[in-house]
Amino acid sequence: MVGQRLKTYGRPRLTVNAGRRLHVPHTLPILPVAVTGPGRRNQDMNDQTVTVPERMSAVLLARHGGFDALEYREDVPTPSPAQGEVLIRVGAAGINNTDINTRIGWYSRSVDAATGQGGAQGLDGVDAADASWSGAPMTFPRIQGADCCGRIVATGPGISPARIGERVIVRTMLRSYVGYRPFEAWTFGSECDGGFAQYAVAPSRETHTVNSDWSDAELASIPCAYSTAENMLHRASVGAEHVLVTGSSGGVGSAAVQLAKRRGARVTALAGAAKAAAVRALGADLVLDRTADLFANPGARSVDVVIDLVAGPLWPRILDTLRPGGRYVTAGAIAGPRVELDVRTLYLRDLTLIGCTVQADEVFTNLVSYIEKEEIRPCVARTFPLERIVEAQQLFLAKTFVGKLVLIPPG
């Protein structure tokens, strides 16, 4: 819980505490210098000097579990960029369902619960052997954080120092580390360390420069949620048709509303009544309470595409909204992973079921272009200092907001 002392494996203890809300600067200052390694001082053309510290602040995930598995530390070694990588000074890092799911081991096939049920205390009986999204065991300690916005401050071998100073976001589903093999990826913050730190390394080719006047927090709200939503729409080839979005007030759902409207779709969104106005402001044509009778509205067999992030007990009713030949697309199951399917519904109505995790390479590049052309907008509900990650995740699990929560590392 917030304010508790955390284990630090023999090092000085630190406290995750609920201090004052942090002011978020519009951007980090540009550092046009050639920083070659942690703790090393370097000169630029103007004889200015900057030092990347040998140690940094970061949140370590010590194991699968509840909030007590998170350790805020100020003595974590700063990473160095390897061949083909860059070092990023993190300006902001968003919070996503996958951060919670990974922490509690929800991806394990031994788990039947909805994601919120173990979010605070963890889940009993998790099989660590398959508790990551990829089905492989996690390596601990791990710095999570699937979202990252910041500035490049150093480059590894093979990468031009000309990239130093660029303002960037990192692709969440990293393909470089798996040789771009089909349907394989590493998730930033899962198979490698992510953005819940002052500094992070990432493959240069998957670290994208962004020219935008958005704040760091706003840009950090994009990588995971918006790429997940865009990938779902891309895989289903969504156009000017009727789309139903479940969980539309969350990070991915609110992104899906905007991105579907960008494609010319007519969007019906499901959300809690208290969030309906905010979801409508994102562009939804119709917002229904998540407990609504879907046979009455939008009506049985009236929807071309379902973008589903919820699953759980509602799933059979969601499927019944699809017209013959309709497409059902999923990238989440926050209400529970086990559903009941009458296979006759699937084959007699010629439905297509599409699962989405690994993203086409053009998805993230397209997202950057949408930002730069101002075709989408961020939806940041609140920011927190990195050290208040527990408080931020408590609010995340409460689901009382629309959009994204973002963490700000120390300057």
Per-residue pLDDT tens over the stretch 47-72: 344 589 999 999 999 999 999 999 99
Q: 353: which residues sit within 8 A by CB, 6+ positions away?
A: 328, 330, 346
DSSP state of 11: S
The predicted structure's pLDDT at residue 297: 79
Give 286-301 pLDDT, tens digit per residue. 999 988 888 777 878 8
DSSP state of 5: B
82: number of Cβ within 10 Å: 11
Q: Which fold has domain 41-222+378-408?
A: Quinone Oxidoreductase; Chain A, domain 1 (3.90.180)
Mean pLDDT of the chain: 88
| Better-predicted residue by pLDDT, 1 or 116 | 116
Q: 46: which residues sit within 8 A by CB, 6+ positions away?
A: none
Give 321-363 pLDDT, tens digit per residue. 999 999 999 999 999 999 999 999 999 999 999 999 999 999 9
Rg of the chain over all Cα atoms, to the nearest angstrom: 21
The predicted structure's pLDDT at residue 23: 30
Lowest-confidence region among 44-58, 104-118, 267-281: 44-58
Give 380-396 pLDDT, tens digit per residue. 999 999 999 999 999 99
Q: 63: which residues sit within 8 A by CB, 6+ positions away?
A: 69, 140
Q: 293: which residues sit within 8 A by CB, 6+ positions away?
A: none
Tokens of 237: 């080839």
| Better-predicted residue by pLDDT, 102 or 32 | 102
> Span 234-261, mean pLDDT?
97
pTM of the shown model = 0.87
Place of tokens 């409207």: 261
Distance CA 370, CA 360 (A): 16
- In the chain, the percentage of residues whose pLDDT exceeds 90 is 80
Q: Which fold has domain 226-355?
A: Rossmann fold (3.40.50)
Where are the domains positioned within the chain?
A: 41-222+378-408, 226-355
Q: How far is CA 317 from CA 218, 259, 290, in A?
A: 35, 24, 11
